[in-house]
Chain A
Amino acid sequence: MKESTHRDLIVLFGLTGWALAVPHYGSDFVVSLTLSCLMYAALASSWALFCGATRYISLATSAFFGVGAYASALTLDQLPWLAVVGLGAAVAALVALVMGLAVLHLRGTYFAVLTFGMTELIRHAITYWEKQVTGTVGRVLSVVPERDTVYLTVLALAVGAVAVAIAVRGSRFGLALAGIGADEQRAQTLGVNTRLVKTGGFVLTAAFAGAVGAAMSVRWTYLDPVVVFNPFIGFQTVLIALIGGAATLWGPLLAALVFSLLAETLRLQLPQLYMMSLGLLLILCVLYLPGGLASLRWATFRQWRDDIRDRWRELTTPLKKEAAS
C-alpha cells in the first residue's frame, strides 16, 4: 500500500472513532450539528470523487438526494432500514445511469446546465405526479428509526464516501478520471473508454447521494417535493466541495465542517448572511484559490502578501513622485 494511502486511512480511522463518540457524550444540539456535517461530508466527498477529478460540474445532487428520500418515504414501513437506504442508492444510481447516458457526452458548461435542467425537471415532474396522479399533498413518515440509527448510517456513508475516494485515487479508475479531467480526448486516444468511466463515476456519486437522501428523509416527518428536492442541497454540496478543494481528498470534508459550524451559528439569526457569505467565499476561492481551502500553504499566504505589497507600491509610487517634484 502506498504511504499516502496508509496515512489517509489512519486519519479516517481516527476521525471515525471521534465521530462515534459524539452521540454518547454530546447534547442533542451537538449531535444534530455533527449529523448535518456528516451529511454534507458524504455528499461533498462523493461529488468530488467524480466531479473534482473530471472537472464535470454536476448540479444534479438534489435530484439524487430527493429520489433517495422519496424511495425511503415510500418503503419505510415495508422494508428493513438497511434495505431502505440501499434502495435509495439503487434508485438514484438508476436515475444517474439514464441521465448520464444522455448528457455525459457533452462538454463542461453544457453538462452543468443540463444536469441543473434535469434536476428541476425531475422535481417538477414528481410535484406534478404527486398533485395530479396520487393526489397526496405530502407524505407522512410513520415508522421512524431512532436518532442513533440514523446517525450511524450517515456516519457510515460519510466514512464510506471517503474510503471509496481513497481507493479510487490509487486505482486505474481514478487514473482514468484524472486523465479525463486533464485532457479527455488525449486520454481516449490512450485507451480510456471515457463514456464508461464517466458513467461509472457519475453513477457512483449518485448512489451515495441517494443513500444519504434515504437516510436523512426521516429527519423530516413530513415529506413533500419542495422540501426534499430543494435545489439548495445540491448547490451547497457543490459550493462546499469547490471551496474545500474538489480535486483533493480532505478538502470537501474540511469545508463541510467549516460550513456546518457557520450554518448553525448564522442560519437561525441571519440566514441571508450565511448564504451571502457562501456565495462570496465561492467567488473569492475561484478567483484567488482555485484549488480550494485544501491547497492553502504557507507559500500561498506569502504570495498573497507579496501581491498586495506590489499592488500597494503600484498605487502609491505616482503619488510619491508628485510629492517629490
Chain B
Amino acid sequence: MSALGWFELIASGLITGGIYALIALGLNLQYGLMRVLNIAHGEFLMLGAFVTWAAQSSLGISPLLMIPVSFLLLAALGLVVHRLAFRRLTRTSPTLDIFEARALMVSFGLMFLVQNFAQGVWGGDLRGYDYLADPVAVGGAQFAGNKLLLFVLALAVSAALIVLLRTTLLGKGVRALMQSPTGARLVGIDTERLHPAMFGVGLGLSGVAGCLLSMSYTISPAMGEPYTVTALIVITLGGFGSMGGALAGGLALGVVEAVGMHFTNPSLKPLLSYGVFIAVLLWKPNGLFTRK
C-alpha cells in the first residue's frame, strides 16, 4: 500500500479514535473519581446526538452551536442523575466493593431507562442530517469536512479537559480525590460538591461526543451501547483513572481498528474489539499505560 494509502488509513483511524477518546475521558472521570462504572454512558451520548438532531431539523439550529448546549444539557442531567441515584449509594454502601457493584447495577437500570425512553419518544428508525459533508483535501488525501471538524473538536475538548485537570485548582482537587479520597477530604476538598459536578462533566462530555457524531453519522436509540463498550475498552487499555491513558488509548484503538479492518474482513471489527478488550483485561487488569 502506498504512503498516501497508509496516511488515509491511519488518519481515518485517528478520527474515529478522537471520538473514542472523548467518550472514554468522560467514563474515566466517573470511574476514576467516584468508582462508578457507568455502563449507561453511551445512552447519554445518544441523547446528545438526538437533541442536536432535533434542534437542527425542527429549529434549524446549527450543530456547532449545539456543542456547548448539549454539554450543558447533559451536564445538568448528570447532576440530577447523581443526586437521585448515586448520592444515596455513597451513603448507604458498607464497603467500596459493594458500592461499585451497586453503582454498576444502577447504571444498568439507567441504560434500560434511557434507551427505551428514547425509543419511545423518537422511534427506532435511523435518522441523520447533512452538515459540512463536502470533502476537504489534507496532505493529498480527501476527508469529509464534518469528519475533520469532528476530529479537531474532539481533540480540542479532550486536550482542554486534561489541561484543566492539570492546571486549575479545581482540576488539582479532582486529581487529588482520585488518588486519595481520605487525604483529599482532610485538606478540605469538598467531595460533596465535586462528585456531582464531575459526574455532570462526564455526562456532558458524552453529550458533546454525541453532538459531534450526529454531524457525520446516522443516529438511532440503540447507537449508544457499542460506544459504551468501546469506551470500556479504551479505559481498560489506558488504565482506569488515567486521563492521558484514555486519550492515547482512544486514538490507538481507532487506528488499530482501522488497520485491522482494512487488512482483514470489516465484519471482524466487533470480534477484534472484544478480543483486544478481553486480552487486555486478562493480561493487564490495570491497563497498559499505568505505572505499576
Contacts and interface: CB of A to CB of B under 8 A. Distances in A.
Q: Do chains A and B touch in the complex (CB under 8 A)?
A: yes
Interface of A: 55, 57, 102-103, 106-110, 112-114, 117-118, 120-121, 124-125, 128, 131-132, 235, 238-239, 242, 270-273, 275-276, 278-283, 286-287, 290
Contact of B88 (A110, A131, A287): A287
Given A108-B100, A272-B120, A131 B267 contact: yes
Nearest to B112: A279
Interface stretch (B103-111, B131-139, B144-152): B103-111
Contacts of B85: 283, 287
B278 A118 contact: yes
Given A108-B100, A118-B278, A276 B113 contact: yes
A235 B116 contact: no
A114 B104 contact: no
Interface residues of B, number: 39
B54 interface: no
A114 B268 CA distance: 19
Nearest to B236: A113
B117 to A, nearest CB: 6
B100 A242 contact: no
Given A57-B104, A275-B116, A287-B89, A103 B282 contact: yes
A57 B278 contact: no
Interface string B263-284: 0010110110011011001100
A73 B289 CA distance: 44
B106 A128 contact: no
Contact of A55 (B101, B229, B285): B101
Interface of B: 37, 85, 88-89, 92, 97-98, 100-102, 104-106, 108-117, 119-120, 229, 232, 265, 267-268, 270-271, 274-275, 277-278, 281-282, 285
A44 to B, nearest CB: 15
A132 B104 contact: no
A117 B285 CA distance: 14
A111 B8 CA distance: 38
Contacts of A287: 85, 88-89, 92, 106
A102 B265 contact: no
B116 A279 contact: yes
Mostly, the A contact residues are helix
Contact of B271 (A106, A121, A278, A281): A121
A288 B108 CA distance: 16
Given A120-B229, A124-B270, A235 B282 contact: no
B46 to A, nearest CB: 14
Contact of B267 (A121, A128, A279, A281): A128
Given A275-B115, A280-B109, A281-B109, 13 more contacts: A55-B98, A106-B281, A108-B101, A120-B274, A121-B274, A124-B271, A235-B108, A242-B105, A270-B120, A276-B113, A276-B116, A282-B112, A286-B102
Nearest to A278: B112
A108 B97 contact: yes
Given A57-B101, A235-B108, A117 B117 contact: no
B112 A109 contact: no
Nearest to B96: A108
B89 A102 contact: no
A142 B111 CA distance: 38
Contacts of B277: 117
A192 to B, nearest CB: 18
Contact of B100 (A109, A272, A283, A286): A109
B282 A102 contact: yes
A273 B120 contact: yes
A109 B281 CA distance: 11
